[in-house]
Amino acid sequence: MTSYFTPQFLVLFLPGSALCYQLVPRRARWAVLLAASYAFFWALSGWLAVFVTVSALVIWLTGLALGTEAARRGRELAELGADRRAVRRLWQRRMRLTLAVGVLANLGILVALKYAGFLAGLVRPLGAVMPELPRIGLPIGISFYTMQAVSYLVDVYRGTVAADANPLRLALYLTFFPQIMEGPICRYAQTAQALWSGAPVTAKQVFSGSARVLWGLAKRMVVADRLNSLVSPVFADPGSYDGGVIVLAAVLYTLQLYCDFSGTMDCAVGMGRLFGIALPENFSQPFFSRTASEFWRRWHVTLGEWFKDYVFYPVSLSGPVKRLTGAARRALGGRMGPAAASGVALFCVWLANGLWHGAGTQYLLFGMYYFVLIWAGALVEPASQALCARLGVSRSGALWHGFQHVRTLLVVVAGELIFRSASAEQGLELLGRATLDFRADSLLDGTVLAVGMDVADFVVVGVFVVLLLVAGVLRERGVHPLEGAWRRGPVVRWAVCFALLMCVVVFGAYGVGYTPVDPMYASF
Amino acid sequence: MRQRVTRALRLLLEASVAVVVTLAVLVALSHVFVPKNNQVEFGQHEARANGVRGELADTVDVLFLGDSEAYTSFSPLQLWGERGITSYVVGTSAQKLCLTRSLLERALERQSPRVVVLETDCLFRAFSVGEAMACAVQDVLPVFEYHDRWKSLRPEDVLGQVQSTWVDDAKGHVAREGVEPADDSAYMAPTDELAELPPMNHAYLEGIAQACERSGARLVLVSTPSTKNWNMARHNRTEQLASELGLDYVDLNVGKSRVDIDWSADTYDAGDHLNVSGARKVTAAVGGLLSGRYGMPDHRGDDAYASWDEAYERSGQGA
Amino acid sequence: MDAILDILEELKPGVEYRGRTDLVDSRELDSLTIIALVAELEDVFDIAVPAAEIVPENLNSPEAIWALVCRLREQGL
């Protein structure tokens, strides 16, 4: 068992644990989930499960300490004649210290395991030598569960959730197996108590959960894994292809990444439902976005929200940045000033976002690319509005919206081209080739069909893309297809699952002739 | 209470109908997707090994099973030319025991060999529960193995019957030319260690032994010479296995059945596999064993086996 | 209360803010506008808004923003 997409997981592990969950009494259900989650972790990472356990222990102890401090602060504030300001300041300092210890311990493990080699490579030219850490590999999902651990601590510090005295519940919150590999990144308030309560699972949840898993499987196995046959060879040896093929590969890679990641998320959300857990959605039709920042509110939603809540606002509202914002407002006015000053917080967010994806220069470039685009977008917004007004272009008309859609798609595809490259230099080189060396004839003369996908493959992908578009439009209009199928009775319900299953069985890119692809975000 | 029971029963009924319908459709699809002949042109996977299904019924006396060690080392046509033994190599590269068992059972549908030789390299190749499951499911529902044929389905696939008319001319053997000498300094160095057998392999070997027993064949374990894949620890473990299961074991690397391989001339990839000249030595030794110890009959001159003479002629080995 | 409406109108003109309860959820206030709004509130009302208070419930309606301001002013005393 190496991922969700193996027969032993789909046929044995998942149905087996769902069945166990149903059979044991409510009070013991958390134990089934915890055991299954640790078994899954063990199967993928072996003894590295120690690290997630350490993280759980750290947030348990730090959370309790923060809870105690908050209670003492409360008592002192309630005392008659207390200097409330001084008490607040004193406890804020103490609690910040406690929070910092917990957060740094978690981030320290992540940095040591994931970024040590990258950092050593960065400082080596400066003559500094970092101590060589033993290479022990990455525990599965460390980038995801570390985010969950930090968010719990900050939430306890802020008082939005109470400190949890139960270390097992915190361990389950971090390791819950449907979400451990690729997220979604959950908040304590969203899942922790539900995971523990063992609430009854309804027949409707079982149906919509299974259908959602099958839909995710179809996205991944029919589209993403099939596209890999073209994307992988082109990016393995981009020098042999001209700009036209590289543009096509970038477009198909964007589609592949979307189907791979959002398909895995469909599976995660579906699996959650089988245990009666509502995991947060991670995608909401990203390709319908009109701006780059809207794209990031719709793609990997839980990561964006995490950065907004735990990086963007805290940085924006920190003392030095507040002073900067104040100065900028005086100089540039109430709208432009904050927009200009937000560059600091945006830079932090996009630096972290780039690095979160991996220790590579291409990811740094990817982050900076979006930083520049989004910040510049905010800065030129007033000018753009004025220009449109002068030219008489309606900013709520179909023409302007269409232009925005196309522009955003181009931005996204160019971003993913950088993202897929082996390094920042290669990313820039490929961007250059894609624009300067673009020739449409290589797309038409059969070169494309020789890489790894034949006409039939393109047809299947095309049909599925139409299906995805229809589903996307329905979701945008607030229609839930699975909800509708449920209301229409048993025949329709079973037919939906059956059709999806057959789609996967026949048109899935698995078996002889296909190389199995690991879920892409699992390595980030 | 009564309502709950009715609801549960209803749900159970729904689920069983759904499962039955799904299985029925998968069976029907399997019929459509399975290749209609055992040839590459019809979409057959591992056609060379599956060529054994094209042999006339009950004409193959010896089956060789195993991975690339098997199909590079054993040459059925040489066995025919030298001793008139009919054999076929059901070997695929990097074969795992779950596939070995499936291929054997498929071959036994039409043949009743007297001896089944299992090359032992694949005994030590691990496979996951998932792979074992996939193997088992594909045997029953070939749509899982041949689903990709939707690209090339024709009307005949829906209506036609499955037949097997094709036989590999070399009877599953692959002759490799070329020489890359091997370093044999540590080859078969003595040790008392026992190599570890992957978890499920014991059970699968037992299954293979039982299948042979059912069809009246003697299962013989044979280790072909290889400096890379074979060593004393594996020899020891295999010997132990053989005595546990009551099987014959012949190690061509060591002891009295050792074949005199010249490691500077008889391998094409530095000791991993044997080349033509190495295979000739191994096949000669195995031939002696088969007609000596196991009394395999000589079919040369029998008109029913004329096709073997023709294949032998075509291979040019007769000249 | 009217001061809140004035600030919102000045930051992002042309939107009817009175009676709204979905300013954040409907993305009328995006994160950049929120930062500008907070800066303005801190200036006008002499308060400090901690990051923990930047949640949709506190910003979705002019009334909620006003309540937030009142609460923070009380705490500051």
Please compute the mean of the pLDDT values over residues A312-331 and round it to a whole number.
Answer: 90
Sequence ranges of the domains in chain C: 2-11+23-74
The DSSP string of A430-445 is HHHHHHHT--THHHHS
- The pLDDT value recorded for residue A131 is 67
Q: What CA–CA distances, in Å, run from A64 to A96, A107, A149, A457, A495?
A: 14, 19, 14, 55, 50
Percent of chain B with pLDDT over 90: 90
Judge whether C19 is closer than 8 Å to chain A, CB to CB.
no
Round to whole Å and give the CA distance between A521 and A519: 6
Which chain C positions have a beta carbon within 8 Å of A293's beta carbon?
A: 30
Task: Give the position of tokens 């992908």.
Answer: A461
Chain B residues whose CB is inside 8 A of the A485 CB are none
End-to-end CA distance of chain B: 86
Whether pLDDT at A255 is above 90: yes
Amino acid occupying residue A186: C
* More confident site: A135 or C73: C73
In this structure, what token pair is assigned to residue A455? 């006409």
Dihedral sign for Cα atoms in the order A154, A160, A166, A168:
negative
Residue A63 · residue A20 · CB < 8 Å: no
Q: Are B66 and B123 in contact (CB under 8 A)?
A: no
CA B293 to centroid of chain Cα atoms: 22
Is residue B90's pLDDT more than 60?
yes
Helices A243-274 and A203-218, axial angle in degrees (round to 10) = 160
Give pLDDT, residue A133. Answer: 67
The secondary element (H helix, E strand) that includes residue B221 is strand B218-223
Look at residue A130 and tell me whether its pLDDT is greater than 80: no
State pLDDT tens for residues A80-104: 887 888 888 899 999 999 999 999 9
Query: Secondary structure of chain B: what % helix, strand, coil (to 5)?
Result: 50, 10, 40
User: Alpha-carbon distance A321 to A341, whole Å?
Assistant: 7
Instruction: Choose the closest CB to A508 out of B11, B137, B147.
Output: B147
Question: Does C contact B via 3+ CB–CB distances below 8 Å?
Answer: no
- For residue B318, what pLDDT is reported? 63
User: How close A165 gets to chain C, by Cα (Å)?
Assistant: 22
Cα separation, A273 vs A40, in Å, equals: 18
Pick B34-315's CATH classification: 3.40.50.2000, 3.40.50.620, 3.40.50.1110, 3.40.50.880. 3.40.50.1110
CB pairs under 8 A between A and C: 57
Instruction: Flag if B130 and A507 touch (Cβ within 8 Å).
Output: no
Contact yes or no for B250/B221 (Cβ under 8 A): yes
HSE-up (13 A, CA, CB side) for residue A360: 17
Rounded to an integer, what distance in angstroms lies between the CA atom of residue B133 and that of residue B127? 10
Examine the predicted complex and report whether its ipTM is higher than 0.95: no
Comparison of pLDDT for A441 and B236, the residue scoring more: B236
End-to-end CA distance of chain C: 20
B220 has which bridge partners?
B117, B248
Amino acid identity of residue A374, one-letter, is I
pTM: 0.90
Cβ within 8 Å, pair A511-B145: yes
A103/A96 Cα distance (integer angstroms) = 10
Task: Give the type of residue at A116.
Answer: A
- CA distances to A316, A384, A451, B32, B239 from A506, in Å: 52, 50, 23, 11, 44
Please name which of B313, B306, B239, B27 lies closest in space to residue B142, comparing C-alpha atoms.
Answer: B27
Using the beta-carbon criterion (under 8 Å), do A338 and C42 form an inter-chain contact? Answer: no
**pLDDT tens digits along C21-76:** 898 888 888 888 898 899 889 888 988 888 888 988 999 999 999 999 999 988 76
Spatial separation of the C-alpha atoms in residues B39 and B190, rounded to whole Å:
45
- Spell out the domain ranges in chain A: 7-200, 201-283+421-524, 302-404
Q: Considering only CB atoms, which chain A residues are within 8 Å of C10?
A: 334
Q: What percent of chain A has pLDDT over 70?
A: 99
- CATH entry 1.10.1200 includes domain C2-11+23-74: yes
List the single residue in A159, A314, A378 with the smallest CB-CB distance to C32: A378
Please report the sign of the dihedral spanned by the C-alpha atoms of residue B162, residue B168, residue B172, residue B177.
Answer: negative
Is residue A128 pLDDT above 80, yes or no?
no
Of the candidates A502, A507, A512, the beta carbon closest to that of B45 is on A512
Characterize A408-419 residue by residue with b for buried, 16 or more Cβ atoms within 10 angstroms of its Cβ, and e for exposed: bbebbbbbbbbb
What is the average pLDDT across A404-414?
95
SS3 content of chain A, % helix, strand, coil (to 5): 80, 0, 20
> For residue B135, which phi and psi values (nearest 5 degrees)?
-55, -50
Q: Which residue has the tokens 């590079």?
A: B72
Please name the residues in contact with B173: beta carbons below 8 A apart, sequence gap of 6 or more: B71, B72, B74, B75, B76, B77, B89, B279
Closest CA to A415 of A350, A352, A343: A350
Q: What's the confidence (pLDDT) of residue B2? A: 82
Q: Residue type at B230?
A: W
Non-local (6+) Cβ contacts of A147 within 8 A are A185, A303, A306
- Average pLDDT across chain A, whole number: 91
Question: In A111-202, which residue ranges form alpha helices assigned H by DSSP?
Answer: 116-123, 142-158, 167-175, 177-180, 188-197
Closest chain B residue to A5 measured between Cα atoms? Answer: B130
Q: For residues C15 and C62, what is the distance between their CA atoms, to the nearest angstrom?
A: 12
CA distances from B316 to A145, B5, B78 (A): 66, 75, 11
CA distance A28 to C6: 55
Question: Which residues of A, range 361-390, sit inside 8 Å of C by Cβ?
Answer: 378
